Amino acid sequence: MAPSFRPLLLLLASLLIMQTMAAEAETCTDCFIHSRAAHYPNSDEQGTDSGACGFGSFGATLNGGDVSAASDLYRGGIGCGACYQVRCTSSNYCTDKGVTIVITDQGSSHDTDFILSKQAFGRMAQNSDAAASLLALGVIDIEYRRVSCSYPNKNITIKIDENSNYPHYLAFVIWYQQGKRDITAVQLCETQNFVCKLLDRSYGAVWTTTSPPSGPLSLRMLFSGEDGDETWVVPVNNIPHDWKAGETYDTGVQVDV
Ligand SMILES: *[C@@H]1O[C@H](CO)[C@@H](O)[C@H](O)[C@H]1NC(C)=O
């Protein structure tokens, strides 16, 4: 009798193992994911000042120049400003820690998820000789995971786009996005009667509206996590009623969500 049960037991056991593995894969938000990375071909050590996120020249020096273009992780611009730990996998050249980069651009090359600034690419190496070897390889195997962005001594800052036209058209970029969540919606509210207007994501990290509300403007940013958690963050500082194209305004808040 017993032998006829054996195949059934084996089947049950393997089903159980498969289920456990699937559950682990689903809950594994901090795990590294295998991929490939390249580096910018230009001679610039740091990032690009014409990246698809709309950060302009700020994007070249953000995070000390440890920045990257993303392919699928660009996510229609939602991925702009997100931080990832990226490490290469060759034990001859690479450190375990790798480098923490900020997404400032969109692009892919040879099935890569990231095109890092040269500086960031070299930072994954154990020393300068190893960095030179990595750079010479051009495209390498990596592992990555989303991490929290942290800018000590920096508040989230609003940079009014040069193309804004007071008071008819307002466009701005959000600098120093912090934490591990995406900014998925932005509102401007009048401080007097709380009329609010939802902005459009023009592209990348650029938010725009025609006929913005008037008076000092209270900003609201919706931070959304992978787990579905959503939080509206309302900074202490308002954007002044006489906002100017090209100006930056400190929101007075740091975010760690
Ligand atoms: C950030 O905002 C706070 C007010 O909330 C302010 O005291 C502080 O000086 C700001 N930090 C920077 C670096 O601007």
Q: How confident is the model at residue 27 (pLDDT cuts 50, 70, 90)?
A: low
* Buried b or exposed e, range 201-234, using 16+ CB within 10 angstroms: bbebbbbbbeebbebbbbbbbbbbeeeeeeeebe
Q: Which atom of ligand 1 is nearest to the CA of 153?
A: 13
Mutate to test the pocket of ligand 1, among 157, 178, 250, 255 (most ligand atoms within 8 A of CB): 250
Write the pLDDT tens digit of every residue in 188-200: 999 988 789 999 9
Interacting residues of 25 by C-beta distance below 8 A, sequence separation 6+: none
Q: Is the pTM of this model over 0.85?
A: yes
Ligand 1 midpoint to CA 82 (Å)? 22
CA of 239 to the centre of ligand 1 (A): 15
Instruction: List, for residues 119-153, the tens digit of each pLDDT value.
Output: 999 999 999 999 999 999 999 999 999 999 999 99
**CA 36 – CA 205 distance, rounded (Å):** 25
Atom from ligand 1 closest to the CA of residue 250: 14
Ligand 1 atom nearest the C-alpha of 236 is 5
Torsion of CA 137, 63, 156, 206, to 10 degrees: -40
Radius of gyration of the chain (CA): 22
Domains of the chain: 33-147 (2.40.40.10), 157-250 (2.60.40.760)
